[in-house]
Homo-oligomer: A and B are copies of this chain.
Amino acid sequence: MATSEGLEALSGLRGALERSSTAERVADALRERIIDGALAPGARLSEEALGQALGVSRNTLREAFRLLGHERLLVHRFNRGVFVAEPELADVVDLYRVRRALELDAVRRADRAPQGAVARVGAAVEEGEAAAGRGDWWGVGTANMRFHQALAALADSPRTDEVVRRLLAELRLVFHAMAAPRDFHVPYVALNRRIHRLLEEGRLEEAAQELSDYFDVAERQLVEAFSEGAQG
């Protein structure tokens, strides 16, 4: 056919064309509200009220709940409803355990990373620096998440990407549950820059070591802040 040439140029539009279900869009909206704190940990989500507010039926809303439940952002208590998850201390430790395994592995094999993957790490670093310059602490947190997502992407593994994305979303819940999340992220901007530089220079083992130290420090800090912030 005459139009066959240049067809591959349209392949980028595939994602945009894929219609998504109502349930998925509802899940996206809810995820946003949960992550930015509009829906606080522990809050109960009434099927009737929320469905009416969002203009969707209860069945559709329940599908969305299921999606977010599998991301551990919501917990589903049988016959009792769904609630925004309330991470505990054990969850913080567990999140870091898995992140350690996956992100460190990704960094160590960064030499086999796909084209442009390291550059995306750098972009996240700059985003963080810019936000820090503006004094936008929430923006710094977002950039930080993107930084670690980019680190995970070095593994060139869709499943790693997905798992890490879930872990990081859950981690944002932890920030809401702890005391003084405001200045948690800012100190790490410089470290991110250092890690990125090491990656660019191919000094992977050193980068992994820096990252490992970061995990130690951040986890300890988080555990402490969390113990203070939570009741108990």
Looking at chain A's contact residues, the main secondary structure is helix
Separation of A160 and B99 alpha carbons in the complex (Å):
10
Collect the chain B residues with CB atoms within 8 Å of residue A66's CB. Answer: 63, 66-67
Cβ contact within 8 Å between A98 and B160: yes
Q: A63-B63, A105-B101 are in contact. Are A94 and B157 (CB under 8 A)?
A: yes
Collect the chain B residues with CB atoms within 8 Å of residue A70's CB. Answer: 67, 70
The size bracket of the interface on A is 20 to 34
Q: Which stretch in A2-10, A13-21, A126-134 binds the other chain?
A: A13-21
Cβ contact within 8 Å between B62 and A159: no
The answer to whether A73 has its CB under 8 Å from any CB of chain B is no
Q: Looking across the interface, which residue of chain B has its beta carbon closest to that of A19?
A: B78
The answer to whether A56 has its CB under 8 Å from any CB of chain B is no
The answer to whether A220 has its CB under 8 Å from any CB of chain B is no
Separation of A95 and B20 alpha carbons in the complex (Å):
26
The B-contacting residues of A in range 88-114, CB under 8 angstroms, are: 94-95, 97-98, 100-102, 105-106
Collect the chain B residues with CB atoms within 8 Å of residue A163's CB. Answer: 98, 163
The answer to whether A158 has its CB under 8 Å from any CB of chain B is yes
- Among A21, A95, A102, find the residue whose CB has the most chain B CB atoms closer than 10 A: A102
Q: Give which listed residue, B19, B97, B160, contacts A157 with CB less than 8 A.
A: B97
